[in-house]
């Protein structure tokens, strides 16, 4: 495929000083002593992005996501390595960073458009689309210093997304403004994707990453931890978030005796509790991996307690095959079990509910977690442990059936 972005051995090092005077002494060579510490914001990161791909960048705070985007867009210079870009970029990074507060909205549109490489005629052709998208009325003729924060980001977003870029770079910028403007932003984003634009997308919203991205790159402490399908990378990211990721740990396998059980279940945890058997029963109590929409079912997990636990939390989650969390609950949310468990005990947790999910294929994940001195701990998690099919005679829009009753009256 045609490569439009190539990142080769990218490294960005910052010098950290305890005091400003140390910076001056070192710069003026007043001492031979090294007074700084090197911080690698990026450490030898390489990847490519092909034309028409939507690639997600994920990682914890400080992993290097924003640094990479700023280098790609030319805002920062790397310490070493190189970036090659083939195409015109529009970046939704620090919205409105190039605005002049004394200028009106219109003046800032032309200023920023010119800086992006557009002629005045090209900006004229796009002006109405920008104004319609921003929808801030006559305020566009006022200095931006008079704008509310909401109006400011609306104009900045409208400008960035309506200049017809070949490559769109988005850093947590789709959740600006009120709920109606956010919906408009996501529609524009989906429109870009359908047009075959190249997109690099940074977000902490894992559902959006799973929904939009073709491929995901996972960063941690400036290094590339891995890249691959969204579902695989998001599962690893969840381990990283709770400090449970081991790059050398092999994927465990389980028994296939239970209907719908995954023989390559991803699992991790401290081992203070262990999830054993997991299964689903229909309304008659028969084990199954097929549930009829609209009927009641029960979800079972058998847990062995390996150490004394103050108040373990038992949970399950439904995901679609792309890895998007659809729904789930736990004993803390339901306020059904907040008791101490002793080492050696064995518990069977049964969640019973009516299923109104749309017909389709789903994956069930399970977890035992808790808090120790207000710190969140994962004792055991099983990702995608069961495959469940919901059988339906009627599917509606979205994930759930609203079960509407319809009445039509003559007036």
Whose tokens are 């634009």? That residue is: 197
User: 271: which 2 tokens?
Assistant: 């081992």
> Residue 278's closest CA among 389, 354, 357, 367?
367
* φ, ψ for residue 283, nearest 5 deg: -65, -15
In this prediction the pTM is 0.75
Per-residue pLDDT of the chain (411 residues; tens, 9 = 90+): 699 999 999 999 988 877 777 676 777 767 677 767 888 999 999 999 999 999 999 998 889 998 999 999 888 999 999 999 998 888 777 666 678 889 999 999 998 888 777 889 989 999 999 999 999 999 999 999 999 878 888 898 888 888 778 898 888 766 666 777 878 888 888 888 889 899 998 888 888 888 889 999 999 999 999 999 998 898 899 888 888 777 655 433 333 445 666 656 788 999 999 999 999 999 999 999 989 999 999 999 999 999 999 999 999 999 988 788 899 999 999 999 889 999 999 999 999 999 999 999 999 999 999 999 989 999 999 999 999 999 888 899 989 998 899 899 999
Contact 316/366 with Cβ under 8 angstroms? Answer: yes
* φ, ψ for residue 52, nearest 5 deg: 85, -5
> Residue 112's closest CA among 169, 163, 172?
163
Show the domains of the chain with their CATH numbers: 3-87+166-234 (3.40.50.300), 251-391 (2.70.50.60)
């Amino acid at each position: 495929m045609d490569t439009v972005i190539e990142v080769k051995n990218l490294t960005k090092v910052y010098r950290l000083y305890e005091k400003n005077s140390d910076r001056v002494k070192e710069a003026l060579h007043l001492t031979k002593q090294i007074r700084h510490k090197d911080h690698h914001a990026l450490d030898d990161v390489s990847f490519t992005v092909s034309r028409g791909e939507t690639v997600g960048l994920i990682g914890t705070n400080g992993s290097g996501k924003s640094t990479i985007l700023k280098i790609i867009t030319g805002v920062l210079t790397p310490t070493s390595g190189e970036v090659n870009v083939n195409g015109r970029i529009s970046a939704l990074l620090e919205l409105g960073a190039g605005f002049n507060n004394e200028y009106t909205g219109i003046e800032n549109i032309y200023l920023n458009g010119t800086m992006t490489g557009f002629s005045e005629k090209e900006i004229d052709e796009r002006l109405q689309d920008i104004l319609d998208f921003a929808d801030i009325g006559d305020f566009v003729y006022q200095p931006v210093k008079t704008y509310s924060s909401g109006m400011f980001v609306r104009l900045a977003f409208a400008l960035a997304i309506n200049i017809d870029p070949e490559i769109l770079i988005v850093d947590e910028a789709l959740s600006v403004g009120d709920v109606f403007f956010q919906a408009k932003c996501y529609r524009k984003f989906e429109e870009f994707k359908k047009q075959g634009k190249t997109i690099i997308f940074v977000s902490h919203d894992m559902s959006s990453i799973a929904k939009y991205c073709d491929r995901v790159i996972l960063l941690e402490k400036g290094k590339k931890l891995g890249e691959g399908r969204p579902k695989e990378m998001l599962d690893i990211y969840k381990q990283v978030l709770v400090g449970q990721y081991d790059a050398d740990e092999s994927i465990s396998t389980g028994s296939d005796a239970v209907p719908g059980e995954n023989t390559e279940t991803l699992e991790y945890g401290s081992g203070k509790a262990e999830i054993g058997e997991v299964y689903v029963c229909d309304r008659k109590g028969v084990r199954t991996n097929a549930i009829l929409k609209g009927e009641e079912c029960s979800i079972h997990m058998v847990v062995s307690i390996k150490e004394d636990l103050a108040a373990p939390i038992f949970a399950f989650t439904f995901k679609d095959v792309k890895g998007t969390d659809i729904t789930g609950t736990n004993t803390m949310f339901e306020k059904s079990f907040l008791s101490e468990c002793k080492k050696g005990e064995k518990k069977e947790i049964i969640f019973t509910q009516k299923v109104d999910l749309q017909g389709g294929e789903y994956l069930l994940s399970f977890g035992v977690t808790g808090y120790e001195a207000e710190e969140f701990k994962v004792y055991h998690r099983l990702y995608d442990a069961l495959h469940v099919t919901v059988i339906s005679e009627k599917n509606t829009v979205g994930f759930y059936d609203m079960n509407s009753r319809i009445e039509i009256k003559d007036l």
